[in-house]
A and B are shown apart, each in its own frame.
Chain A
Amino acid sequence: MLTYTVLYLLTLLFKAVLSLWISSLENKLKFMSSTNGYVVIGLLGPTLDSGKGAERWERWRPTVALCRHENFLIKRLELLYQEKFKSLLEILVEDIKMISPETQVKTNVIDFEDPWDFEQVYGSLHDFARKYEFKTDKEDYLIHITTGTHVAQICMFLLTESHYFPAKLIQTSPPSKFHTEDPGNFTIIDLDLSKYDRIASRFNLEQVESISFLKSGIETKNRQFNRLIERIEQVAISSKAPILLMGPTGAGKSNLAKRIYELRRSKHLLEGRFVDINCATIRGDAAMSALFGHVKGSFTGAVQSRPGLLRAADGGLLFLDEIGELGLDEQAMLLRALEEKVFMPMGADTEVSSDFQLIAGTNRDLALQVREGKFREDLLARINLWTFRLPGLKDRLEDVEPNLNYELEKSAQHMGKHITISKEAREKFLRFAVSSEAVWSGNFRDLNAAVIRMATLALGGRISVEVVEEEIERLRAAWHDPKEQAAYSDRDAELLLESLIGFDAAAELDRFDRVQLLDVLQVCKQSNSLSEAGRTLFASSRGQKKNINDADRLRKYLARFSIRWQQIKGEEE
């Protein structure tokens, strides 16, 4: 089954590549001359070359037509045929002798029972190629690939490409339907020449597109980062092995994992879902259950059975962020799931299977954790075949501007209005962003949040110098106020969010909403009342409103995510 799929894909590729070559070469070859003389090796085509009686001359028969070109002389034709087509062979040989007296025709029996059996056909052609005495200094060889089954054509192609046939390819095509008795066209294709630059450039273009896709279309300038993404692109489309993304929080691991997933899906390398989870948000039974599922009643609170994230990712991609936070039990289970594609849900007595691709993210030095006994060495060995270190924003200052543009555009899309930034405001923001003052401890997540805030506060969709100044103050405060930093780190905010709405729902949030919601939750957590939080959150716009009801606006906003004030403050239950 697999063989046929591969074969089918090969056929498609082969045809595409060939037609491209041909279109690039046609009309360039007005005549062909070889000082040594051409020797053509080709298969007798039981279908295309067939024909008895006088009317066969009114049909295009590729092997005969090949010998009929006024501008192309074949010194010798090595015709490969299956024994059962001997009578057709005889007609063909006679016709070629008559139509091309200069050509010596040699016939070679080739024994494959089934011309659609890749192995047989390849095997017998390979044997022929190995036994044939090529005299490349005296003769120029051409492999005729128009006749024979697709399988045979592919085999001839492969054997030529791999130099078992030290030859060029020759492809023939029929004449126009009004002159079916004419010999048609032929094209000689040299696989060794740079003539397939156009194909190469097409592949390059595709690669450029993939790389750009991985970068979310952001024209990043940091050379190190760009090289990294190129490498990731290569790995992403050519390997299904686990990938380990290292980097500080907010460096874009999660976003990149999602992009790798989408790239693979667009190339049909996987069909299943993208499932992601931050391992820092799950502990104990909840972690086991979240990842591997459980059956009803397997532990306190397991009211319903649950399939778990590994099964949800069957046929797809699982992104485990902060994998270093995973408990040792979960690590053992995960390793088995990776190696054998089976695992045991909590409380179940039979194993279930899931075939998923894995990307792991971490901010920690996992090798150190291994030494400290916190991370399994064998699991690390399994997941760090491909390790990529994503630099933080501080190490990619030249990418602040392209990311700023990208975030502005994205905000505009989300808010459904055009967002611009005045030249002065932009310069001010960028000056601050690349200064030593800007810590960017949350990396691109900070930048993303800053832009969303500025876009939200932009009057008439235009971000002014004032808005930028205000944002700079906000960032300074967040990074430099040790109390605030201590009180609220990114991870804590995320933990709070996931505890409020559940990690599934949190995982499904758009980044846009996520950042906003995290900031809102942060304010709520630090405020004593709903009204106080409302006042802080709507500080700018409240002055312009007649009826001030910040608390209500905040309540409604939180309700969109099914969050109540009391939950945030831990006053419920």
Chain B
Amino acid sequence: MLTIDGSFGEGGGQILRTALGLSLITGTPFKIEKIRAKRSKPGLMRQHLTAVNAAAKVGAADVEGAAIGSQTLIFTPQNLLPGEYSFAVATAGSATLVLQTVLPALLSASASSKLTLEGGTHNPFAPPFDFLAKSFLPLINRMGPKITASLIRPGFYPAGGGRFVVEIEPVKSLSGFDLLQRGEIIAKRAKAMVASLPTIIAEKELKVIAHKMSWDSSCLHIEKIANSAGPGNIVTIELESENICEVFTGFGERGVKSEDVAEQVVKMARRYLVSGVPVGEYLTDQLLVPLAIAGEGSFVSIGLSRHSTTNIEIIKKFLGVTFAISQLEKSGWLIEIKK
């Protein structure tokens, strides 16, 4: 049985989720200790427990230590069971993180799956739904499976109550890809979402983006959400290139000016544009596991976060792959994955 130090590297819930995902796919049981040991509230929190329970269902797993505050967990998957599942995350926690836990295993399962996920759909510190749908999943589809994701309604902090459905047509085995060039930008789009909040917030955000990016009004879109449970505001910038689509998200927050929210997104988008590389930091994080499962692939990234470097270490424990990471002359990093 693999033993993982949960306090290693980034030391948070990501280690657990990556381990769960890889355990499902490889059938390798593992024991994780010191889960979130250095956090102010150490051990498993409710959102982690939800991820553990979801993985346990999908993998018909035996689980020990699945309790709030627990710092040790033993996970022994028995049998991968694709099918229809519904997972709900409490406290407006991110539902996309639960998807991230179970998705890799379902990509090459023996049958198709349909997942209904409830909770937060647009949370800071988690991949927002728009990023999944527009940026991440199209790249996964490029590896063979057919995945569609549809947002029923968004869920924001603090009310949550969002819902989206993900349908997965698996393949026998994933094939990797090489993504070394971005290509020309072919479309750009800024979208401000407001739910139960004045439209002026969205207008202000788009005004800042239009001004800073020198975009004309045809790129700007306001989306008024009528069916969300609670109030919320996000603003996204989508940059679609020949080979990839990147999505940057800013989160409106009580007490933070809409202009500042927009400025943040502009900053991320500009940095990406200037770098000229295809893959941004968050997407880098997400691509490591599927490419490692495929056992081959390479891409150029703007940089590796602590999340990414931690993930690489966990992946190496479960899968017999090697990573080659080298800094490029101009800008960015080349990441190569081999068996």
Please tell me which one of the listed residues B40, B70, B88, B254 contacts residue A30 in the complex, with CB atoms under 8 A apart.
B40
Identify which of residues 175-200 in chain B touch chain A, using a CB-to-CB cut-off of 8 Å: 195-197
Identify which of residues 127-181 in chain B touch chain A, using a CB-to-CB cut-off of 8 Å: 157-161
Complex Cα–Cα for A27 and B87 (A): 32
Known contacts A98-B159, A99-B160, A178-B255; is A54 also within 8 Å of B230 by CB? Answer: yes
SS of A interface (majority): loop
Interface residues on B, range: 20 to 34
Pairwise interchain contact A71-B231, C-beta atoms closer than 8 A? no
Pairwise interchain contact B90-A181, C-beta atoms closer than 8 A? no
Complex Cα–Cα for A102 and B46 (A): 9
Contacts of A182 in B (CB 8 A): 158
Known contacts A33-B67, A57-B230, A181-B158; is A70 also within 8 Å of B88 by CB? Answer: no
Pairwise interchain contact A100-B90, C-beta atoms closer than 8 A? yes
Tell me, yes or no, whether A40 is within 8 Å of chain B by CB: no
Q: Which of B41, B158, B229 has most chain A Cβ within 10 Å?
A: B158
Contacts of A72 in B (CB 8 A): 46, 68
Tell me, yes or no, whether B276 is within 8 Å of chain A by CB: no
Pairwise interchain contact A30-B160, C-beta atoms closer than 8 A? no
Identify which of residues 113-139 in chain B touch chain A, using a CB-to-CB cut-off of 8 Å: 118
Contacts of A56 in B (CB 8 A): 230
Contacts of B49 in A (CB 8 A): 73
Please tell me which one of the listed residues B40, B68, B89 contacts residue A73 in the complex, with CB atoms under 8 A apart.
B68
Tell me, yes or no, whether A19 is within 8 Å of chain B by CB: no
Please tell me which one of the listed residues B46, B195, B196 contacts residue A70 in the complex, with CB atoms under 8 A apart.
B46
Nearest CB of B to A244, in Å: 60
Pairwise interchain contact A179-B91, C-beta atoms closer than 8 A? no
Scoring A residues 166 to 187 as 1 if CB is less than 8 Å from chain B, else 0, what string do you get? Answer: 0000000000001111110000
Known contacts A54-B230, A71-B46, A73-B46; is A99 also within 8 Å of B196 by CB? Answer: no
Pairwise interchain contact B254-A70, C-beta atoms closer than 8 A? no
Nearest CB of B to A36, in Å: 11
Nearest-CB residue, chain A, relative to B42: A30
Nearest CB of B to A321, in Å: 66
Nearest-CB residue, chain A, relative to B43: A31
Complex Cα–Cα for A13 and B197 (A): 44
Nearest CB of B to A77, in Å: 13
Nearest-CB residue, chain B, relative to A65: B158
Please tell me which one of the listed residues B68, B89, B161, B229 contacts residue A31 in the complex, with CB atoms under 8 A apart.
B68
Known contacts A30-B42, A70-B46; is A58 also within 8 Å of B90 by CB? Answer: no
Nearest CB of B to A326, in Å: 71
Nearest-CB residue, chain A, relative to B86: A101
Contacts of B228 in A (CB 8 A): 54
Identify which of residues 23-54 in chain B touch chain A, using a CB-to-CB cut-off of 8 Å: 40-43, 45-47, 49
Tell me, yes or no, whether B93 is within 8 Å of chain A by CB: yes
Pairwise interchain contact B195-A31, C-beta atoms closer than 8 A? no
Pairwise interchain contact A100-B91, C-beta atoms closer than 8 A? yes
Pairwise interchain contact A55-B41, C-beta atoms closer than 8 A? no
Contacts of A181 in B (CB 8 A): 157-158, 254
Pairwise interchain contact A102-B231, C-beta atoms closer than 8 A? no
Tell me, yes or no, whether A95 is within 8 Å of chain B by CB: yes
Nearest-CB residue, chain B, relative to A35: B67
Complex Cα–Cα for A33 and B41 (A): 12
Scoring B residues 228 to 248 as 1 if CB is less than 8 Å from chain A, else 0, what string do you get? Answer: 111100000000000000000
Pairwise interchain contact A101-B68, C-beta atoms closer than 8 A? no
Nearest CB of A to B152, in Å: 13
Scoring A residues 95 to 130 as 1 if CB is less than 8 Å from chain B, else 0, what string do you get? Answer: 100111111000000000000000000000000000
Contacts of B196 in A (CB 8 A): 53-55
Nearest CB of A to B67, in Å: 5
Pairwise interchain contact B159-A70, C-beta atoms closer than 8 A? no
Complex Cα–Cα for A101 and B70 (A): 21
Complex Cα–Cα for A253 and B195 (A): 79
Contacts of B195 in A (CB 8 A): 54
Tell me, yes or no, whether A69 is within 8 Å of chain B by CB: yes
Please tell me which one of the listed residues B40, B91, B231 contacts residue A55 in the complex, with CB atoms under 8 A apart.
B231
Complex Cα–Cα for A407 and B121 (A): 79
Tell me, yes or no, whether B295 is within 8 Å of chain A by CB: no
Scoring A residues 44 to 56 as 1 if CB is less than 8 Å from chain B, else 0, what string do you get? Answer: 0000000001111
Contacts of A101 in B (CB 8 A): 88-90, 118
Known contacts A98-B159, A98-B161, A102-B46; is A68 also within 8 Å of B91 by CB? Answer: yes
Complex Cα–Cα for A30 and B229 (A): 29
Contacts of B67 in A (CB 8 A): 33, 35
Nearest-CB residue, chain A, relative to B162: A98
Identify which of residues 186-235 in chain B touch chain A, using a CB-to-CB cut-off of 8 Å: 195-197, 228-231
Contacts of A183 in B (CB 8 A): 91, 158
Complex Cα–Cα for A98 and B227 (A): 14
Tell me, yes or no, whether B69 is within 8 Å of chain A by CB: yes
Pairwise interchain contact B231-A54, C-beta atoms closer than 8 A? yes
Nearest CB of B to A75, in Å: 11
Tell me, yes or no, whether A459 is within 8 Å of chain B by CB: no
Known contacts A54-B196, A101-B90; is A31 also within 8 Å of B69 by CB? Answer: yes
Complex Cα–Cα for A122 and B131 (A): 55
Tell me, yes or no, whether A32 is within 8 Å of chain B by CB: yes
Known contacts A55-B231, A100-B90, A178-B255; is A95 also within 8 Å of B45 by CB? Answer: no
Contacts of A73 in B (CB 8 A): 46, 49, 68, 90
Contacts of B231 in A (CB 8 A): 54-55, 57-58
Contacts of B42 in A (CB 8 A): 30-31
Complex Cα–Cα for A68 and B196 (A): 21
Please tell me which one of the listed residues B41, B88, B255 contacts residue A71 in the complex, with CB atoms under 8 A apart.
B41
Pairwise interchain contact A98-B41, C-beta atoms closer than 8 A? no
Given A178-B255, A180-B254, 14 other A-B contacts at CB below 8 A? A33-B70, A54-B196, A54-B230, A55-B196, A57-B159, A58-B231, A70-B46, A71-B45, A71-B69, A73-B90, A100-B91, A101-B90, A181-B157, A183-B91
Q: Chain B: residues with CB nearer than 8 A to chain A?
A: 40-43, 45-47, 49, 67-70, 88-93, 118, 157-161, 195-197, 228-231, 254-255
What would be 22 A-B contacts, judged by CB atoms less than 8 Å apart?
A30-B69, A31-B42, A31-B45, A33-B69, A54-B195, A54-B197, A54-B231, A55-B231, A57-B158, A58-B231, A68-B91, A69-B46, A70-B41, A70-B45, A70-B47, A71-B68, A95-B159, A99-B158, A101-B118, A103-B90, A182-B158, A183-B158
